[in-house]
C-alpha cells in the first residue's frame, strides 16, 4: 500500500435503525476486513418537527454504536452530511471502497434509493418473518388476518407450544387469551413498575447540544436505552416486574401512569438494540419457570411475533400504494392539541398528550382509542396523522405508523387490515380510563355544551359514513342505532361546532 492511500476494502453501511452488531451485512465481519459507515443527515435532522427524545434516541444510539465498533477494532466513518446520499458519495470519494454492503432498509423508498446508488443489499434479519416469507404466506388468502398469521408464527418459531397427540399444540389449549386481558384500570392505587433512568454521558450531551430548535417535547432524561447494554437492563426489568402484571391491564389507561406494566421495548427493537426473538423467548422462559401467568406471556408474545411482524409484512406487501389510501376521504389537519399548539378540556386527550410530551410515548390503547379514535371520528388526513406520529413517538417509523394509522386507526384502507373502524364514544373511555372523573365533558351526553366530544363525534362519524358502513356486518347494529336517534340533527349540529373548535385549538 502506498503511504496515505487507503486500502480498498468493502464498506458496510449501517443505517440508524439497524444498530445490531450481529445482523445483516455486519454479521460475519471482523475488524480489518471492512470499514463501517454511519451517516447523520442534516436533512433528516432538520427536515421534521421531531420530538427531542425521539431524535436524541436515534442520534445518540448511532454515536454509541460507532464507539462500540471502534472499541472492537473496526475502522468507523461516522459521517455528518447534508443528506444521506451526500454522506455515501463523500465516503466513496474518500475511501474508494471495493463495494458498499448494507442490510435491506426498513423504509420502502430507501430501498429504491440504495439500489440506485449501487449498494449491495443483504437480507434484513432484524425480524422473524422476512417480507418474502410473509408474501408467500399471504398468497392466495382472501383475508390476511393477524390471528391466522400469529398462529402460523407460533408454529414455525416453536413458541408456547406443547407436544400433543397430533403434533404441537398451544400451551393451555388455546392460542389466544385476549379475553382475559381486558380488565378496566384498577382503582386501588397500586404501585406500577418503575424504569431505571440511565445517566446521560458525554455522547448524550453532545447530541442534545445539537438538537434543532424546532424539536418539541421534554428534554431527554435517560428513559430510553441508547446502547444494547441499557436495552438489556430494560428487558430484564420488564420480564421481572412488568410482565407478571401486563396481561389483565394492557388495555387500561391511567392519567398518572405513562406506561403501567407495558414493556416500552419497541424503541429498542426498532433501532436494533434488541431482537424480537430474544424478547419472545425471555417471556416464554418466564412463563415456563412459573414467574408469570400464561395470559400475560401469551398476550405479550402475540404483540411481538404477531402484531409487530404482521404490520411489518403488510407494509412491504402493500407499498407504495398503501401510503396514499384514504377510503373515508378524510382531509382535516392534525389537531393542534396533538402537536402542542393548543390545550384542551378533554381530560383523556390532555393526559395522553402530556405523556407524549414528557417521554415521546403513549401505549397502544392510548394511541388507538384516544388519539386514533379522535382522528378517525374527526376525519384527520391519514398521511398527515401517520407522519406526525412517526416523528413524535420514540418508537416511530414509517413501517410502524403507516399500517397502524392507515389500516388500524383511521380505516383509510377500507378494511384490508381491520374488519371495522375502531371508533367509539365516551363510554369506552369511561370504562377503560380514569380520565372521565373530573372532566367537564359527560361521556353519556351527545348534545349540549357538556356532551363528550368522543360521543358526539362517534354518532356523527357513523352518520357521515352511513353508506360505506351499512354493508359492514360488524357495524350493522351501530348503523341501525344511529338511524333511530331522535336527536340526530342536534348531534350533527353539535359535531360541526366541536370540529370547528378542534381545528382552532379551542376545545
Q: Specify which residues 164 forms β-bridges with.
A: 167
For residues 352-370, give the mean pLDDT: 96
The full set of domain ranges for the chain reads 11-122, 131-181+224-318, 323-504
DSSP 253: B
CA–CA distance, 164 with 154 (Å, rounded to integer): 15
Single pTM value for the model: 0.94
Class of domain 323-504: mainly alpha
pLDDT, residue 6, reads: 58
CB neighbour list of residue 198: distance below 8 Å, 6 or more residues apart: 222, 225, 226, 230, 233
Distance CA 204, CA 411 (A): 39
Indicate whether 4 pLDDT > 70.
no
Nearest to 243 by CA among 224, 225, 263: 263
Please indicate whether residue 292 or residue 4 has the higher confidence score (pLDDT). 292
- Contact yes or no for 367/409 (Cβ under 8 A): yes
Residue range 74-81: mean pLDDT, rounded: 97
Distance CA 146, CA 152 (A): 10
- CA pair distance 301, 307, nearest whole angstrom: 9
398 contacts 475 by C-beta, under 8 angstroms: no
Q: What is the 3-state secondary structure (H, E, C) of 310-321?
A: HHHHHHHHHCCH
* Statement: residue 3 has pLDDT above 90: no
Residue 1 is predicted with a pLDDT of 43
Pick the CATH number of 131-181+224-318 from 1.20.120.80, 2.30.30.60, 3.40.50.10470, 1.25.40.80: 1.25.40.80
pLDDT score of 48 more than 50 = yes
CATH of domain 11-122: 3.40.50.620
**Model confidence at 345, in pLDDT bands (50, 70, 90)?**
very high
Q: Percentage of residues in the chain with pLDDT exceeding 70?
A: 99
Q: If pLDDT is split at 50, 70 and 90, which confidence band does 2 have?
A: very low
Amino acid 180: pLDDT = 73
Mean pLDDT, the chain, rounded, equals: 94
User: What's phi and psi for 293, nearest 5 deg?
Assistant: -70, 155
* pLDDT digits 0-9 by tens, 153-189: 999 999 999 988 888 999 999 999 887 777 788 877 7
Strands 161-164 vs 167-170: parallel, antiparallel or unpaired: antiparallel
Is the pLDDT reported for residue 5 higher than 60?
A: no
Is residue 77 scored above 90 in pLDDT?
yes
**Contacts for 50 with CB less than 8 Å, ≥ 6 apart:** 212, 214, 215, 216, 391, 392
Pairwise pLDDT comparison (34 vs 190), residue with the higher score? 34
- Confidence band (pLDDT; 50, 70, 90) for 7? low
pLDDT greater than 50 at residue 220: yes
Amino acid at each position: 500500500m502506498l503511504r496515505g492511500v487507503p486500502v480498498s476494502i468493502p464498506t458496510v453501511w449501517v443505517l440508524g435503525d439497524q444498530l445490531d452488531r450481529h445482523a445483516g451485512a455486519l454479521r460475519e465481519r471482523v475488524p480489518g476486513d471492512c470499514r463501517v459507515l454511519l451517516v447523520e443527515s442534516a436533512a433528516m435532522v432538520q427536515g421534521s418537527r421531531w420530538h427531542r427524545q425521539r431524535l436524541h434516541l436515534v442520534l445518540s444510539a448511532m454515536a454509541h454504536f460507532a464507539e462500540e465498533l471502534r472499541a472492537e477494532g473496526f475502522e468507523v466513518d461516522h459521517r455528518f452530511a447534508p443528506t444521506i446520499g451526500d454522506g455515501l458519495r463523500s465516503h466513496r470519494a474518500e475511501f474508494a471502497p471495493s463495494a458498499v454492503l448494507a442490510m435491506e432498509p426498513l423504509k420502502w423508498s430507501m430501498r429504491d434509493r440504495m439500489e440506485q446508488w449501487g449498494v449491495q443489499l443483504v437480507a434484513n434479519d432484524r425480524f422473524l418473518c422476512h417480507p418474502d416469507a410473509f408474501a408467500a404466506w399471504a398468497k392466495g388468502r382472501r383475508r390476511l388476518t393477524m390471528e391466522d398469521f400469529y398462529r402460523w408464527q407460533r408454529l414455525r418459531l416453536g413458541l408456547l407450544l406443547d407436544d400433543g397427540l397430533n403434533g404441537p399444540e398451544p400451551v393451555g389449549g388455546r392460542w389466544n387469551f385476549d379475553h382475559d386481558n381486558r380488565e378496566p384500570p384498577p382503582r386501588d392505587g397500586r404501585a406500577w413498575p418503575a424504569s431505571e433512568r440511565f445517566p446521560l454521558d458525554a455522547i448524550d450531551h453532545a447530541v442534545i447540544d445539537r438538537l434543532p430548535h424546532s424539536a418539541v417535547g421534554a428534554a431527554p432524561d435517560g428513559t430510553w436505552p441508547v446502547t444494547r447494554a441499557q436495552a438489556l437492563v430494560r428487558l430484564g426489568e420488564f420480564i421481572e416486574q412488568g410482565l407478571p402484571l401486563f396481561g389483565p391491564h394492557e388495555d387500561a389507561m391511567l392519567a398518572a401512569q405513562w406506561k403501567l406494566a407495558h414493556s416500552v421495548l419497541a424503541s429498542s427493537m426498532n433501532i436494533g438494540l434488541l431482537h424480537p426473538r430474544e424478547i419472545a423467548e425471555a417471556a416464554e422462559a418466564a412463563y415456563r419457570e412459573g414467574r408469570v401467568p400464561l395470559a400475560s406471556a401469551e398476550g405479550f408474545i402475540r404483540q411481538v411475533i404477531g402484531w409487530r411482524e404482521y404490520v411489518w409484512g403488510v407494509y412491504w406487501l402493500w407499498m407504495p400504494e398503501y401510503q396514499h389510501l384514504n377510503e373515508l376521504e378524510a382531509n382535516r389537519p392534525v389537531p393542534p392539541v396533538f402537536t402542542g399548539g393548543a390545550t384542551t378540556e378533554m381530560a383523556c386527550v390532555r393526559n395522553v398528550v402530556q405523556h407524549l410530551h414528557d417521554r415521546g410515548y403513549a401505549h397502544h390503547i392510548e394511541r388507538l382509542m384516544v388519539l386514533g379514535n379522535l382522528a378517525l371520528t374527526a376525519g384527520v388526513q391519514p398521511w398527515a396523522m401517520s407522519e406526525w406520529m412517526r416523528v413524535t413517538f420514540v418508537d416511530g417509523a414509517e413501517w410502524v405508523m403507516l399500517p397502524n394509522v392507515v389500516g388500524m386507526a383511521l380505516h383509510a384502507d377500507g378494511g384490508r387490515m381491520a374488519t371495522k373502524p375502531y371508533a367509539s364514544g365516551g363510554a369506552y373511555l369511561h370504562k377503560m380510563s380514569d380520565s372521565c372523573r373530573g372532566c367537564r365533558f359527560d361521556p353519556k351526553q351527545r348534545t349540549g355544551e357538556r356532551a363528550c366530544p368522543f360521543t358526539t363525534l362517534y354518532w356523527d362519524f357513523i352518520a357521515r359514513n352511513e353508506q360505506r358502513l351499512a354493508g359492514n356486518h360488524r357495524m350493522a347494529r351501530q348503523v341501525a342505532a344511529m338511524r333511530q336517534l331522535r336527536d340526530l340533527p342536534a348531534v350533527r349540529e353539535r359535531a360541526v361546532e366541536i370540529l370547528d373548535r378542534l381545528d382552532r385549538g379551542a376545545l
